[in-house]
Structure 1
Amino acid sequence: MPRFPLIPTLVVGLAIAAMIGLGIWQLQRRGEKLAALQLYAANLGKPEMAFPRLPVGDDNLFRRADAYCLRVIGWQSQGGRSVKGTNGYRHLAQCSTGAEGPVLLVDMGVAPDPKVQPAWKGGKVTGTITHAPDHRPLLAGLFDSAPKHLMLISEAAAPGLEPTARPDLSSVPNNHLSYAVQWFLFALVAAVIYVLALKLRQKPKAA
């Protein structure tokens, strides 16, 4: 009779336990995301606030805020959508807020050409708080607990630009339940396949 494969069984068991653990973690993340969505929905109706100058977490996402751009020190662009629903390139102003203050990032509107240089030089801005573009690798973002940087989407566009569409709750994905189900299914499939493999291994060979 073939010997019981102890080490392979331990390896498969650990892999299955890890998959189940990831599924449970995704269920926990789902609960956290639901609570966050409730907070964001409440933020939509809160009064205007001063834009937070330092990364302070996501508690103020989707809330209206104002800030003052002392002067524009640079521009960057990335894909985006205007309030009219047309696709183009969002033009983000990198603003100085003081001699030693942090750089303020303000979305000043959408244009068809990413190379457009808006004539806006700065001033008071009112808009909606959202996340600044994050260029970290996906895995680094998942396991980095540091607060994400924030930016302001201006309600009034710079000359020659269309205002960028205000962020809405539908832009916040909450697919953790489907991820959890996938991990649980992976664990189940791995267990079934391994049990079948053991049965085939222990089946007597024909003489």
Structure 2
Amino acid sequence: MTARRSILPPLIFGIVTTAILLSLGFWQLRRMEWKEAMLSEIQAGIDAAPQPLPAQADPSMKYMPVTVSGRTTGEEILVLSGTKELGGGYNIISGFVTDDGRRILLDRGFVTQDYRHSPRPPVALQVVGNLHWPQEKGSATPDPDLKAGIWFARDVPAMAEALKTEPVLVVAAEVAGDAQGVMPIPISIEGVPNSHLSYAVQWFLFAATCAGMTAWLIWRIRRRTY
């Protein structure tokens, strides 16, 4: 009887803790399913048929496929970037005047370090792309180096103020016209993290460890008692 009373507290603690850890693991699996559904919905929106640029575009239209036709202004912002294939470089954000006279931002795509200073005078372009309001600027993001002409994040309101455009960014997926050596980088969900499966595995491992430690502790208590 003494042995049974002595193992009760660690047994209850172990069962409760293991159950909590398991519940956290299953919660992460549910979060993973939710995230996969959300990413599928975003991808479906990205791949939808493009339409003309809305008269009043706002962040609720993020990822909407659009078509724009017009001319770059020759003014641009270089945002520090990089690709796996080409290494470090810059995203070229140009001022863009549409055929109906609107001034917007156009993310034309990527250039390597070697093409940073290449001339990119005003040019007529027809673009298929997606509206975007990226959330890249954090508390640790440096302010733009205006002297060097380099930005460290795409900040739509700040870029619009700098280039005197609407706070509307179109990320090019396809460009007709003289691309001037700029490679379009279409919007993709590949960069959106979905780590819920690894988190779930971690919680399940913690649960297994807790259950094992509880069993070992009870075995030790019973051995000492008898």
1:48 aligns with 2:51: yes
CA-atom RMSD in angstroms: 4.6
Q: Which residue of 1 aligns with 2:80?
A: 77
Q: Which residue of 1 aligns with 2:200?
A: 180
Displacement of 1:19 = 2.8
In 2, the alpha carbon distance for the partners of 1:90 and 1:163 equals 11
Q: Which residue of 2 aligns with 1:134?
A: 136
Report SS of the residue matched to 1:127: strand
The 1:45/1:6 distance shift into structure 2, 3 A limit, reads same
Contact 1:78/1:114 (CA < 8 Å) preserved in 2? no
Displacement of 1:136 = 4.0
Report SS of the residue matched to 1:24: helix
Question: Match of 1:89, as an amino acid?
Answer: G
Runs of at least 5 residues in structure 1 that lack an aligned partner in the other structure = 98-103, 138-148
Residue number among 176, 194, 197 corresponding to 2:217 in the alignment: 197
In 1, the alpha carbon distance for the partners of 2:96 and 2:123 equals 9
Matches within 5 A, 1:149-168: 152-154=170-172, 155-156=174-175, 160-168=180-188
Report SS of the residue matched to 2:110: strand
Percent identity of paired positions between Structure 1 and Structure 2:
21
1:53-102 per-residue CA deviation (whole Å, 9 max, x = no partner) reads 44328xx53x4224688895743221236xxx5444232427699xxxxx
The 1:80/1:21 distance shift into structure 2, 3 A limit, reads same
Contact 1:78/1:91 (CA < 8 Å) preserved in 2? yes
1:1-53 per-residue CA deviation (whole Å, 9 max, x = no partner) reads 6855848964x666545433332232222222232243234331323253774
Q: How many residues align?
A: 184
Runs of at least 5 residues in structure 2 that lack an aligned partner in the other structure = 98-103, 140-155, 157-167
Instruction: Choose 35-44 or 167-176, whichever is displaced more.
Output: 167-176
Q: TM-score, normalized by length of structure 1? A: 0.58
